[in-house]
Amino acid sequence: MDDVTTQRTVSLLGSTGSIGTQACQIVRANPERFRIVALSAGGRDLELVAQQAVEFDVELVGIAAGDRAKLESLIADAAQATGKRAVSRVVVGDDASVHAAGVGADVVLNGITGSIGLRPTVAALEAGSTLALANKESLIVGGPIVKKLEKPGQIVPVDSEHSAIAQSLTSGAAHEVRKLVVTASGGPFRGMTREQLGDVTPEQALKHPNFAMGRVITTNSATLVNKGLEVIEAHLLFDIPIERVETVVHAQQYIHSMVEFHDGAVVAQLGLPTMLVPIAMGLDWPHRIPDVETPIDWTKAMNWTFEPLDDEAFPAVRLAREVGAAGATYPAVYNAANEECVEAFHDRRIGFLDIVDTVEKVVGQHTATSGELDVDGVLAAETWARATAHDAIDKVAR
pLDDT tens digits, one per residue of 355-367 = 999 999 999 999 9
- CATH number listed for the domain at residues 328-398: 1.10.1740.10
In angstroms, the CA 307 to CA 185 distance is 10
Q: Identify how many contiguous H helices and E strands the chain contains and give both numbers.
A: 17, 11
pLDDT tens digits, one per residue of 295-346 = 999 999 999 999 999 999 999 999 999 999 999 999 999 999 999 999 999 9
Binding annotation for Mn(2+): 159, 161, 230
CA dist 309 → 75, 131, 269, 313, 315 (Å): 49, 31, 20, 9, 9
pLDDT tens digits, one per residue of 50-65 = 999 999 999 999 999 9
Interval 31-57 mean pLDDT = 97
Q: Are 165 and 238 in contact (CB under 8 A)?
A: yes
Binding annotation for NADPH: 16-19, 42, 135, 137, 214
What percent of the chain shows pLDDT beyond 70?
Answer: 97
Interval 29-46 mean pLDDT = 97
**Averaged pLDDT of the chain:** 95
pLDDT, residue 376, reads 94
User: Domain-by-domain residue ranges, the chain?
Assistant: 8-157, 159-324, 328-398
DSSP-based three-state secondary structure for 120: helix
Which class in CATH covers the domain with range 8-157? alpha beta
**Does the N-terminal peptide bond of residue 286 adopt cis geometry, omega within 30 degrees of 0?**
yes
Interval 81-105 mean pLDDT = 94
Which amino acid, residue 178?
A: R
Radius of gyration of the chain (CA): 21
- Rounded to two decimals, the pTM is 0.94
Binding annotation: 16-19, 42, 135-137, 159-161, 185, 208, 214, 221, 226-227, 230
Neighbours of 312 (CB within 10 A): 9
pLDDT, residue 398, reads 62
pLDDT tens digits, one per residue of 174-230 = 999 999 999 999 999 999 999 999 999 999 999 877 666 678 889 999 999 999 999
Q: Are 351 and 393 in contact (CB under 8 A)?
A: no
Strand intervals (E) in 42-105: 60-63, 89-92
Q: Do domains 8-157 and 328-398 have the same CATH topology?
A: no
Residue 172 has pLDDT above 90, yes or no: yes
Binding annotation for 1-deoxy-D-xylulose 5-phosphate: 136, 160-161, 185, 208, 221, 226-227, 230
Interval 36-46 mean pLDDT = 96
Burial of 239 by CB count in 10 Å (0-12 exposed, 13-18 middle, 19+ buried)?
Answer: exposed
pLDDT tens digits, one per residue of 240-279 = 999 999 999 999 999 999 999 999 999 999 999 999 999 9
Residue 93 falls in which region: left (phi positive, over 0), alpha (psi -120 to 50) or beta: left
With CA atoms as reference, report the closest residue to 86 among 41, 48, 55.
Answer: 55
CA dist 362 → 124, 329, 354, 356 (Å): 32, 12, 12, 10
